[in-house]
């Protein structure tokens, strides 16, 4: 069971996983050893999965980013699972979401250029028999691109 300190630790760590146990302990009002034990428990119980580094995109060549809405040929679990398995293996796909509505999947795809995206789209969406159609919107500018869960979500699920 997560208490308010566990939730605060999760919130702090998802914003900056490099924070020291001393900093965390001070922020949540725990001793250093109690804080270290809680963080270790959050890792061992699977509340924390990875600690990825966020790269400053301004320092690197900026890719073309596309939001791609994909409609599959059949509304079958096997078709969806096969598509998800194949598409997530593509390096260019940074996000893959099954969605409700007019299409079946929402993808975030990053490529070197519009031409490279065109080649990727033709190879994947144009050649895979499970893809009925797709629509692409290119991202012009991001005003917010956050992966952190809001505090109100930090309650254990019923699963």
* Domain match, 39 and 61 both: no
Residues 63, 34 within the same domain: no
pLDDT at 9: 95
8 - beta bridge partners? none
Residues 16 and 65 in one domain: no
Q: Is residue 6 within 8 Å of residue 14, measured between CB atoms?
A: no
pLDDT, tens digit, for every residue of 18-49? 999 999 999 999 999 999 999 999 999 999 99
Q: Is the residue at 155 inside a domain?
A: no
CA atoms within 13 A on the CB side of 109: 29
CATH code of the domain covering residue 9: 1.10.10.10
Q: At what angle do helices 4-15 and 32-44 cross, to 10 degrees?
A: 80
Range of the domain at 127: 57-139
Do 74 and 16 lie in one domain? The reply is: no
Structural domain includes residue 103? yes
Q: Give the model confidence (pLDDT) of 111-124 as tens digits.
A: 999 999 999 999 99
**Is 14 in the same domain as 75?**
no
């Amino acid at each position: 069971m997560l208490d308010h300190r566990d939730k605060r630790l999760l919130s702090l760590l998802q914003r900056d996983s490099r924070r020291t146990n001393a900093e965390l302990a001070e922020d949540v009002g725990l001793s250093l050893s109690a804080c270290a034990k809680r963080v270790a428990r959050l890792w061992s119980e699977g509340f924390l999965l990875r600690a990825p580094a966020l790269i400053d995109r301004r320092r690197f060549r900026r890719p073309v980013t596309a939001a791609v809405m994909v409609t599959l040929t059949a509304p079958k679990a096997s078709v969806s699972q096969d598509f998800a398995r194949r598409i997530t293996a593509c390096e260019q796909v940074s996000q893959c979401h099954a969605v409700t509505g007019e299409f079946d999947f929402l993808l975030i795809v990053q490529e070197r250029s519009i031409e490279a995206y065109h080649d990727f789209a033709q190879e994947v969406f144009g050649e895979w028999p499970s893809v009925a159609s797709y629509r692409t919107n290119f991202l012009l500018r991001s005003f917010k691109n956050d992966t952190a869960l809001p505090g109100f979500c930090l309650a254990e699920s019923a699963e």
